[in-house]
Amino acid sequence: MIKVAILILALMAYATQERHKVWQSEGALWEDIVAKSPLKPRGHLNLGNFYFARGHLDKAIQKYVDTANLKDNRPPFHYRSAALSNIGAIFIGQRRYAEAEKMLEMSVAEEPSVAPAINLAVIQMRTGKVDKALALLTKMLDKEPSEPSLLFNRAEAYRLLGRCAEAEVDYLAAYRENPDSPVRTCDVQ
């Protein structure tokens, strides 16, 4: 009986030590989660986020692609939409605007949220699709009427279109919501 108890204690100590190794780093934790639950998107998304934050962009993109391709992508949180948005953000950093725009359009279509919508609008403004950007930002402001980053970016779209009065209204509204928001005037270029 004592030998069995010692054996059980030794096995438990070993298991504890092995589990402790997993918790030593965030990357090891998410790799373990993905290995144990390969069909669940959350682990893949968070492992992608881990790689992204550390500049391992190819690995991050692969984990985001894995996330987007999993079938368990349903509300309330769309892991697929977040993965597509993050791929878009990587592509923006790499100046791959056409690819970024495609990813962000899919992300916003699935789950319209502020960050991917702003990124998409900024790309659209940079590539001469200012009317499209303005329509997207206005639609997002219908859902989030006091979001300063949406207000500021819509002001930028108005400015690019030469609609200075509307731009200045949005610049001021953005500043009222967030005093750290840049204060600009509409100098049409």
Predicted local confidence at residue 75, as pLDDT: 59
pTM over 0.85: no
Per-residue pLDDT reduced to its tens digit, 110-119 = 888 899 999 9
Predicted local confidence at residue 14, as pLDDT: 62
Predicted local confidence at residue 112, as pLDDT: 85
Per-residue pLDDT reduced to its tens digit, 66-115 = 999 987 656 556 888 999 999 999 999 999 999 999 999 999 998 888 99
Q: Is the peptide bond before 76 cis (omega within 30 degrees of 0)?
A: yes
Which residues are CB-contacts of 186 (< 8 A; sequence separation ≥ 6)? 158, 159, 164, 165, 167, 168, 171
Residue 91 CA to residue 116 CA, distance in Å, equals 12
Which segments of the chain have a pLDDT < 50?
Answer: none
Helix, strand or coil for residue 142?
helix
Residue 155 CA to residue 147 CA, distance in Å, equals 12
51 neighbors 57 (Cβ within 8 angstroms):
yes
Predicted local confidence at residue 169, as pLDDT: 95
